Structures are given as C-alpha cells and as structure tokens.
Amino acid sequence: MPHQPITVAGVEVFPLCDAVGPMGEAIRRPLAELFPGADHGDSDEWVLHFHCYLLRDAAGRTVLVDTGVGPEGSPASSWAPVPGALGAELARVGVAAEEIDAVVITHLHSDHASGAVIDGLPAFPNARHVLQRAEIETAAETVLDTVVRPLGERVHVVEGRADVFPGIRILHAPGHTPGHQVVQVGDLVLTGDLVLHPVQLADPSVTYLYDDDPGLAVVTRTKLLEQVEAERGMIATAHFAEPFTRLGG
C-alpha cells in the first residue's frame, strides 16, 4: 500500500517509500544499544522504512528531499535493503527524473544520498542539489568522489537557513551530522535523521548510536520538536513506518 500524499500551505507532499527492512549485519545492533535508555517495550528488531519526499508547489516546481539507498551495489548496499524503489515511486506519482528542479540532501549518509549519482552520472540532471557547507566540509573523500564531485555545478552550497523556493525552507539542524538539514513547509518539518525512531518523540533526549555528536543532536532535536509541537504541526520522517506524525495534537 503506497503512502498517501498530503497538501501543506499549498505544497503537495508525496512520501516515496524507497525501501523497507532491517539494518544489515554490518551495523545492526539491538534497539537497546542503538537508542540507549529508551523504553522499547517488547520490541527488539527495528524494521526501517527509507522515505524520500517529493514536494510540488502551486507553480508546479518540484523538490526531491533525499535520494534514498540507490541501486544494487550502491554505497548503502553494505547495510541497507537495495535496490531502492525511488525511481518507481517517482513514476507512480507522475514525475520524471528530468523534471526535478531541486534536490535537498538532508545529509550525506549513504541511505539518503546514494540515489543522487548512479553509474557516475547525476540521476536528476536538471536539479540543483542543496547541501550545507558543513556537510561538504566534513564529508569523507569517498563520499565526495561518489556523490558530490560527480554532481559538478549542480551542487548548491548553503549555510544555515535558506529558501529552496518561496515557502520551502531549509534549516541547519546539526548533530546527527555536522551539516544535517531539515526542510520546513508551513507547519510541516521533513526531519531527515533528526528523529530516527518513535522513542525519540517520547523522549527527545534519547541519543542514537550513529549520531556524530549525540549531545548536539539532543539539543537540536529538542528545540525543533518543541517548535513543531507548539504549532501542533507535523513531521515527515525518513525511517518511521508511517511518513507523517502530528505533534502536540
């Protein structure tokens, strides 16, 4: 059952379910190790969804948020379920890769960035690819070689807050990675890996094993979630089973 779109502040938001599955052996850990101190009840296996989102504003401009796990053999294939279904999901909502105007990569982890460059070529050839300067400056050479450099002049570097198009805004949300960013549309925030698992909604101070700077991630997560909650807004998550979660309702 495909995930259903919503419209927020005049922008259509299509969840694209790129993949579903547990982490592979390379990085799989019990939930109690991934999210120490959280109440996991009886569950110990984490079955992740891998969501990208397509935004289409009233003028028909399209923004893809994250590019998924990529094809067989992609950098994510060591631990994530590949191949990703992003291409099929875009086809399902009627948008061709060439029609994407902008791509926002929330951060350069392999399950968010691996669909941007396929076989050494940009998968979204007419899109500018928006990344935070801090993310590029701290990226590993292999990531620069496989994702950033092949995009060439399509890379659009921003620092902090920036508008992709009017009403579609990027906010720097560091901690998970130094240049992690989220996207805000009206009262909706597309959270990338700001929030990985629902236990972090119950308690935003729950850290994640693979956060670069867990302390900073807690500060960023707590502040942003408080803002969304105060507005009774929604988040659109990368890895929850359901794409949209309303807060403070």
Contacts of 84 by beta carbon, 8 Å cutoff, 6+ apart: 18, 19, 50, 68, 69, 70, 71, 74, 76, 114, 115
CB-wise, 109 or 172, nearer to Zn ion?
A: 109
Q: Report in angstroms how near the CB of residue 245 gets to Zn ion at its nearest.
A: 13
CB of 43 to Zn ion, least distance (A): 18
Closest CA to 9 of 201, 159, 231: 231
Question: Shortest gap between Cβ of 16 and Zn ion (angstroms)?
Answer: 8
Beta bridge partners of 155: 129
Shortest reach from residue 20's CB to Zn ion, in Å: 6
Q: Which is nearer to Zn ion, 28 or 232 (CB)?
A: 28
Q: How far apart are the C-alpha atoms of 107 and 214, rounded to whole Å?
A: 16
Least Å distance, CB 193 to Zn ion, is: 4
For the stretch 141-150, contacts whose Cβ atoms lie closer than 8 Å and that sit 24 or more positions apart, written own/partner, are 142/75, 143/75, 143/108, 143/113, 146/75, 146/117, 147/105, 147/108, 147/113, 147/114, 147/116, 147/117, 148/108, 150/117, 150/120, 150/121, 150/122
Q: Which residues of the chain form contacts with Zn ion (CB under 5 A)? A: 17, 49, 109, 193
Among residues 16 and 164, whose Cβ is nearest to Zn ion? 16
| Of 97 and 113, CB closest to Zn ion | 113
Closer by beta carbon to Zn ion, 57 or else 240: 240
